Chain A
């Protein structure tokens, strides 16, 4: 079952972006995976707050691919945020802040469920095997079963 995501325009404001940073405007659509390129750390916070499941993934990373497959296998439609290499360090810091004070800087792929940092591939796989993943997804309203 697919999550109906609200229509959103992601635009970086001309002032905050700074020269050369890429940010794509992504329209979230109920029937497609919403993807956006993170160029601005602020939009990361927005993504996490407004989507049930967000995966921050390095472009072309195979581990990130595995996480997406696992989640989609459950019928979840995660929002994928593609991260450029140059923005990775900043983003990691930002994610650590979102996750809460004192958390370790998360490694990519980083999965947020219901606004909270769920973990990386290891945590997702562990929860998948132990059966804890589905209830968490339901809680976050990522699944409607």
Chain B
């Protein structure tokens, strides 16, 4: 008996035609036996018919040597055919599983491509002040409030740079106080705009604002509640002003002190908030694995964080207003220029730092 014949299910009598068709179409080695099978089928049937009379009933017992051998072959054939059936069945199941896997992978791939496309679109909108996109966490890129803020802040910085250049040339020129006043007002309003932007963004994601991720790294180093420290800025701009009158000196000194006190009060308030938040999240038994309640009560308290950002910005705003009242127009212009260039230096420092050549180890 040749091996090919063993693959075909014998005899119409056994009533198993269908599996044979499937086997014929799907061959392990990839050959399509469809065309060739029908003739062989009949051929084989005849052969098998000759070999065994009625396998389901068993043979009566071989009376001759020929019969003995015939029945042994018969057994072998039966066993081989059964094994073959089994193998074919398993093969079909494997094929089915493989196809299903391919289908689901295809769906997943489509999903991922769409997500990637969306993310790329959002990132493309960024003209961030000092952000390089590798720093952005996934959450920031999907928050529209933050995406808007980043874009607006980028524009704010560009406008700031332009205003600083204008101030510089204005101060170097013969410009009178009346005109200079316009530039000063412009500058004051620009800062006011920033505080408004920050307040809105803090509502979208207070952590992004308070972490200073929207600023450059050097600016972040000096960060105090989502921005600069008013008292520090006062210290920086004082030496760059035209000589002050005695009264002005006194007023500025008082302002510096008030600033410091207000900053201390806010800092202590923040510390208290830290403490309360830490307590709230750690409440109850740690280790039991269920902490939905603690998450909930901590989130409720996050609203206080946004209020701190607003209050800190308010302090900055008030300080700017007060300094504006104390100084003359020309001094105020000098002050704005000094402050602006200081922040510019920090931003430049940050980009030099991030683009420095790193050592290959």
Residues of A bordering B, CB below 8 Å: 60-63, 65-66, 69-70, 73, 121-122, 125-126, 128-131
* Main SS class of interface, A: helix
A122 and B265 contact, CB distance less than 8 A: no
B265 and A70 contact, CB distance less than 8 A: yes
Q: Which residues of B contact A62 (CB under 8 A)?
A: 269-270, 272-273, 276, 304, 308
* Main SS class of interface, B: helix
Interface string of B313-326 (1 = CB under 8 A from A): 01100110110010
Closest 5 CB pairs of A and B: A66-B269, A69-B265, A129-B318, A62-B273, A62-B269
B311 and A69 contact, CB distance less than 8 A: no
Q: Which residues of B contact A63 (CB under 8 A)?
A: 269, 304, 307-308, 311
A65 and B322 contact, CB distance less than 8 A: no
Residues of B bordering A, CB below 8 Å: 254-255, 258-259, 261-262, 264-266, 268-270, 272-273, 276, 304, 307-308, 311, 314-315, 318-319, 321-322, 325
Given A60-B276, A62-B269, are A130 and B264 also a contact pair (CB < 8 Å)?
A: no
Q: Report which of A69, A73, A125 forms a contact with B318, defined as CB distance below 8 A.
A: A125
Q: Which residues of A contact B266 (CB under 8 A)?
A: 66
A130 and B322 contact, CB distance less than 8 A: yes
Output the least CB separation between A8 and chain B (Å).
Answer: 28
Q: Which residues of A contact B254 (CB under 8 A)?
A: 131
Given A66-B266, A66-B268, A66-B269, are A126 and B318 also a contact pair (CB < 8 Å)?
A: yes
Q: Give bound CA distance, A40 to B138, whole Å.
A: 50
Q: Which residues of B contact A125 (CB under 8 A)?
A: 262, 311, 314-315, 318
Output the least CB separation between A7 and chain B (Å).
Answer: 30
Output the least CB separation between A70 and chain B (Å).
Answer: 5
B311 and A129 contact, CB distance less than 8 A: no
Q: Which residues of A contact B272 (CB under 8 A)?
A: 62, 65
Q: Give bound CA distance, A128 to B314, whole Å.
A: 12
B268 and A65 contact, CB distance less than 8 A: yes
Q: Which residues of A contact B314 (CB under 8 A)?
A: 122, 125-126
Q: Give bound CA distance, A125 to B268, whole Å.
A: 15
